[in-house]
Each structure stands twice: as structure tokens, then as C-alpha cells.
Structure 1
Amino acid sequence: MKVAVVMGGTSPEHHVSLASGKGIAAAVTELGHTAVPLVIDQQGDWAVGLHEAIDLLRSVDVVLIGLHGEYGEDGRLQGFLDQLKVKYVGSGVLASAVGLDKHLTKSVLRSHGIAVTPGVRLFGAETTDTEAAIQKLKAADVEFPVFVKPANGGSSFGVGRATDLASLADAIAAAAELDPQVLVEKEMIGREIDLAVLQFPDGRVEVGPSLEIISDPAQPFFNATAKYDADSATQFLIPAPVDPELAEQLRRTALEVFDVLGCTGLARVDFFIEADGKPVVNEINTLPGFTPASQFPRMWAAAGYSYADVVGVLIDTAVAKP
């Protein structure tokens, strides 16, 4: 088949996306297909030109999206491909848009009885009024320390930890530079465990082995440096050492999140396990990082699927969609 691989984009995750896209394109070639790499630059322009990009997209059998963050993972590119009547890997417009918006994701999951990280959303003038933010946090029973993050984004860009009024103001300002919506959430003390969800061509949806993140102790939290620095001491434990009952609860919840949000193709669901053993959903990534070293392919490798195997499943599943 002829497979387009779209990468780059305007989000702060541009360079992560390029790495994902290059890995995916290499796997497409390894599988015996023809890879058509298409790069979107940081200004949002197609490197080959818009009209040429449209012609190329219409000429392929399927599109693999290696973009992360806004203008790639948020439903906009998915809608564009729908208009071109081109099949693509992953969730459609609605699930993509809801999945990238962390506040909206949690609102939907909470309404379905799924436990999520407690916090508040700040928007507009609220992002410059620290006292109003404090009052909102008090009303939600959220105390310091807190984590502050852009509501739409990933790879921990713009994420900060606040322990008092001054650090809260600084963290909100940093997050607001990337997104007009800012989340301020309770710091969760416990374990961080991720699950990979994969849909197969026959429609079945499976969850891979769990992954526990042991972040680089030299970093304040699992930030971009802990995630991507070549010298990072971050460890990934696969499968996560959890008892069978908790493992099954996590598996069922990951499938429920995938279903409730209307996802297709793939997703990574991230959990915190509190000290009492209760899991809460932190977020979902409908287009998780896909470099050969990323968590999603690592989890499926532990289940016996090579990087290329996973790419092959994604392609076949996308092509099988009506």
C-alpha cells in the first residue's frame, strides 16, 4: 500500500513528532509498503505546498498521523482528511478534540463515574488573577502543592509545580503562554502507571502490559527533560508490579475510557495510583508518542509485538474501517 506519514506541526511537540514520524515511516517501509513522508512546519505550512499535499494525500491508501498536540491530535487534521475522503489511523474528529482537551476529557469521564485527578480550569482573566485562582481551588478543596499545565498539550511542555502563591502565579503565566485554558490540579502522591490500548482490524480492542514510570530523581517531576533527555535516569517498568486485582481494574478502566470518549485505533491512558490503592485517570493520549523509545511501542513490545508489528496493525485497522 501507499502510506502517507504526516509529522511536524505547530505545537511545542514539533520535534517529538518528527522523531515519531521518522520511526513510523521506517516501519512502513520495513512492512513492504511505500512511505510518503509529509512534513508540516512550525508555522503550519505543508513543506511540499498545500495543493501538492492534497494531491499526495488523495493518492494514498491510508494516512498515519505522527503529529502531537494542537493542529494534529485535536481533530483539525482529522476533519481535513475526512473532507478529502482519505482513511487515517486513530480517532476521528470528536474523540480527538475531546481527548486533547484535558478539562473536557475529565468532565466527560467524571460524568460517567470514572475517577479523575481533582482540579480546576482557569480561563481568560482568571489566568492573571491569582487570588481568584486561589478561591477556585479552595472551592474545589484543592490545596498546595498543585500542578499547573496547559489544558491542551503534551510532553509536559508548560507544566509547573506550585507550592505557594508566588510559584502559582509564575506557573499559571508559563502555562498560559501555550494555551488560554490552564489546569490547576492536586498533586497526586502515589504511582504513575500507563496503559496502551490498541484496536485490531477485526474490531476487537486490547490493552497491552502496564508500564510504571520511575522518573529521574534529579528532576522535580516527570517533565520534558525526564522524558526525552538522552542522559535521563527515568525508568519504565513493564509490566508494572501490581497485584492481579488492580491490574484488571486498570485494564477495564482503560477500555471504558477508550469507549466513553469514542476512540478508535489507539490510545494511551495514564493513571495515578493513590496511596490507598485507588486508581484515578490523569489523561488520555489519542496519538501517543511513537518514537522507537516511546512508552506505547515499549508496552506492546512486552506483549510480543515489534514496532513494525504495531504499525502494521494500525494500518490494517484504519484500512478496514468503513
Structure 2
Amino acid sequence: MGKLRVGLIFGGRSGEHEVSLRSARAVIQALDGERYEVIPIAIAKDGRWLPPAESWRMLPSASIPSTPHSSPERDAVTIIGDLNWQGLVHLGEDGTRVERLDVVFPVLHGTYGEDGTIQGLLEMANIPYVGCGVLASACGMDKVAMKSLFRAVGLPICRYLWFLRAEWETKPSEVIKRIEHEIGFPCFVKPANLGSSVGVTRATDRASLEAALTEAALYDRKIVVEEALDVREIECAVLGNEDPQASLPGEYVVLDRRAEFLDYTEKYGQTGHVEFVTPAPVAAELVREIQQMACRAFRAIDGAGLARVDFFLRRDTDELLINEINTMPGLTDVSGYPKMWAASGLDFPQLLDRLIELALERHRDKARNRTSLAH
């Protein structure tokens, strides 16, 4: 049996482009070369899909392998498929070449990658892919939809409100008054559809709130405002399809008070202000509660493959609240998701093996549905 051909899609048009490159590099380095052949498929910031030769060069510190299937830089890439076949087409001046893909690993973070868009393309092409489907990805990206689903299944969340950018632009004084009345200060202002804390600001008074709302409105038409609590930030990794399993939790520990919250720089800039500790120093009973709630959150959005669930543990009451779910968590060398599974006894190569197995398993299950419909 030959190697499994893995189409690794990375980059993308979102504000998390660089994180995606780092995740892709980590995945390529960890995948077993005896089992897999990686076909890199980069998406540039302007949305162009790049052929393998050019895709390799986008990866941080990556050397270009000698691959006969790599295409000239002028080529474009298209995903194609049908009920019995799936692949990757290179469209170039020197002719069209087709490569079969056994599974796609979309290591894309944020919009146009983690929000159901790429998942819809892969569903239409009938290609097995790692991670959540269209519905779960879309709901996991949109914080308003996500919180509505959590609330519907009885999961505890912090106080929040949301509104459209148009409301802020046309009725700013009303929006400010509503936030002051319903949420108060301090509070967090967030774009509804971004990850990695991009566009997130902590507001402590009316002036900083106005600046925060203007900032969030640059990124999304939907804005979320949440109460700011004195909390410990706990995370838990989930893995599976129908019967998801949860890892030991991890915790972001603030080492320097200059880190007011975990923004993009603190998460990925290695500032030294915070440290991710695995496993989190919490009691065994709380570990079980975190794991159970993480799996409930995963099921609430109809998750598949993988997700990271973020929690707030209130310092004043010890109440555990769900903050959000991330359906394509970072897989970089500083990311919490692989670290939590490593602490739980599953190293990164084994974790990637399992993610690919889950993708193929889910695809086979969907094929059963198509067969039933055909009859």
C-alpha cells in the first residue's frame, strides 16, 4: 500500500495568515514521511491558490524538496472531485496536470478557513478533510451563534451583548449607554468572527470603549461586548467524532502584569509575559468538570475531528464558565492544543495520525448516507 497523499492547505486571507504558516510547518515536520506524502497548497493573502513549488517557499524556514509533481510558479490550483474521485488540478501554460488527494488537512485559522467556507468547498468536491464540518465551523467562528448554542444546552457563559456595526455607526450614543447599563466596566470588545484575539480590546471607561468599538468595527459587521471578570484562563483539547474525548486541561499563567489579557502578541509573540502550563494546576474534580463541559460544547456545535474549548475560572466564586470554542486551533510550536494532548499521553505525530483517521472515518460515514439516498 502506498503513502497516503495529504493536501495541506494553509495561509489564507484572514488576519491569522502567519499563524497558519507556522501551524503548517509544524504539521509537515511532524507527519510520518513513511506513511504520508504531503502536497502543500498555500493560499496567498490576496486569495491566490499557489502550486506546491511556490507553496513550499511560503513556509517559515522550509527547504524546497525535490518533488517531480511541483509546478511552475505561474500555475494556478483548483480543487476538483466527484462521488468516486477527488484531486488537485494545476492549470498552467504548459498543460493541465492532476494529482489525486486522499485527504485534505486545512490548517487555516480565522475567516475563509475556519468559518465553514473551505469546508463547503471540500464537501462539494467530496474530499475527506480534517476537522469540523460546515455547520460546526460556522457556528464555532461566530461568537454570537456559538453563545446561543451554548446557552441552549445549559452551558454557563459570561454576560454579553451584541449588535451590528451599522448600529454603532448610526446610533453611537445609544450603543454606549446600552453597554454601560447592561455590561459596565471593565469589558471586552470583540469582532464576532475572528480568532487569536485579533481586534479584541479591553475597555475601562467611555473613551476606551469608543476606541474599542471603532477598532472591532474594522474587522466585522457584528460586534460582541462581554463583561471582564477576574479569572484564570483554562483550555481543554477535544478529539473525536461521535464519541469525543477531552485532554487534560492547560492554563495560561500571567508572569508579568503588563499582559492585561491574552491578545495576539501574547499568544504567539513569545513575549515572556505569559506561560502555558500543562496540565493545569487544578483539582481532579475540576478536571473532570472541564472535560465534560468541553465535550458538551463540542457536541453543541456538532463538532468533528478537533476543537479547543476555552474556559474562565472565576477567582471570586470558583465558577467555571465557557468562553468559546475554536474549531481549528493553532498547531504551532507554542500552541496549547498539541501541548495538552502531549500531557495526556498523545504526542504530536500520533495526534496527527488520529486526526487523519477521524477525517477518513467521517467521510466513510457520510458515504453511507449518500448510498442510502441513492437507493
TM-score range, shorter chain: over 0.9
Q: Secondary structure at the match of 1:79?
A: helix
Q: What are the equivalent positions in structure 2 for 1:222-233 lying under 5 Å apart?
A: 222-233=262-273
In 2, Cα distance between equivalents of 1:17 and 1:196: 18
- Describe the SS at the equivalent of 1:172: helix
- What is the one-letter code of the residue matched to 1:43? D
Q: Which residue of 1 aligns with 2:88?
A: 56
Report SS of the residue matched to 2:216: helix
Structure 1 residue 241 displacement after superposition: 1.3
The equivalences for 1:144-293 within 5 A come to 144-199=185-240, 203-217=242-256, 218-274=258-314, 275-293=316-334
Match of 2:183 among 142, 149, 162: 142
Give yes or no for contact 2:265–2:271 (8 Å, CA) kept in 1.
no
Look up the SS of the partner of 1:65 in the other structure: strand
What is the deviation of 1:72? 0.3
Residue-by-residue CA offset, 1:287-320 (whole Å, 9 max, x unaligned) = 0001122100000111122111111110111112
Tell me the equivalent position of 1:133: 175
The separation in 2 between residues aligned to 1:205 and 1:13, in whole angstroms, is 27
Rounded Cα–Cα distance in structure 2 between residues aligned with 1:278 and 1:93: 32
Whole-angstrom CA distance in 1 between matches of 2:111 and 2:17? 10
Which position in structure 1 is the counterpart of 2:372?
none
Letter in 1 for 2:128: K
Q: Gapped runs of 5+ residues in structure 1?
A: none
- Per-residue CA deviation, residues 222-271 of structure 1 (Å, 9 max, x unaligned), is 11111111333311121111122222111111111111110000000000
TM-score w.r.t. structure 1 length?
0.94
Structure 1 pair 104–52 and aligned structure 2 pair: CA distance change class (3 A): closer
Is 53-62 or 120-129 further displaced after alignment?
Answer: 53-62
DSSP 3-state at the match of 1:293:
coil
The answer on whether the counterparts of 1:31 and 1:308 sit within 8 Å (CA) in structure 2 is no
Q: Is 1:115 paired with 2:118?
A: no
Q: Which runs of 4+ in 1 moved over 3 A?
A: 49-55
Q: Contact 2:49/2:77 (CA < 8 Å) preserved in 1?
A: no
Structure 2 contact 248–291 (Cα < 8 Å) conserved = no
Q: Tell me the distance in 2 between the aligned counterparts of 1:101 and 1:223.
A: 18
Q: Higher relative contact order at CA 8 Å, sep ≥6: structure 1 or structure 2?
A: 1
The Cα offsets for residues 46-77 of structure 1, whole Å up to 9 and x where unpaired, read as 11355444442771111111000111000010
1:317 to 358, 363, 367: 358
Q: Alpha carbons of 1:111 and 1:311: their partners in 2 closer, same or farther (altered >3 Å)?
A: same
RMSD: 1.7
Q: Is the 8 A contact 1:62 1:319 kept in 2?
A: yes
CA 1:72–1:276: 2 relative to 1, 3 Å: same
Paired residue type of 2:360:
V
Aligned with residue 130 of structure 2, among 85, 89, 93: 89
Separation of aligned partners in 2, 1:228 and 1:95: 25
- Paired positions, count: 319
What is the deviation of 1:26? 2.1
Bigger CA radius of gyration = 2
Hey, what's the Cα distance between the residues in 1 that align with 2:262 and 2:190?
Answer: 13
Percent sequence identity over matched residues? 38
Q: Is the 8 A contact 2:10 2:43 kept in 1?
A: yes
User: 1:127: how far off?
Assistant: 2.5
